[in-house]
Amino acid sequence: MATQEVTQLKKDIEALKGDIQQLSHTIKELAQEKATEGKSKVFEELHIDDLKEQLDALKSKGKDGLGA
């Protein structure tokens, strides 16, 4: 009786391992897709001149913060 239970538990654990691997793969794919979409959205919304202006503003804030 105990042997059957242990065998069934081993099968259940193996099935769960497969499910976890599948979930992990799906999560990685979704995260990669969202990151790509986010990157594309940033570059679509902001032109290079806007990015340079924002970068310069951040640099001056950083320099001002160092002197304070």
Q: Taking 60 as the threshold, does the pLDDT of residue 25 lie above it?
A: yes
Domain ranges of the chain: 2-67
User: What is the arithmetic mean of pLDDT over 25-51?
Assistant: 85
Q: What is the mean pLDDT of residues 13-29?
A: 96
Q: How big is the chain by its Cα radius of gyration, in Å?
A: 25
Q: Is 66 helix (H, G, I), strand (E, B) or coil?
A: helix
29 vs 45 pLDDT, higher one: 29
Structure token digits, residue 18? 């497969």
- Token pair, residue 26, equals 């799906």
Residue 15 has pLDDT above 60, yes or no: yes
Task: Record the tokens describing residue 67, joined without a space.
Answer: 């002197």
Q: What is the pTM of this model?
A: 0.52
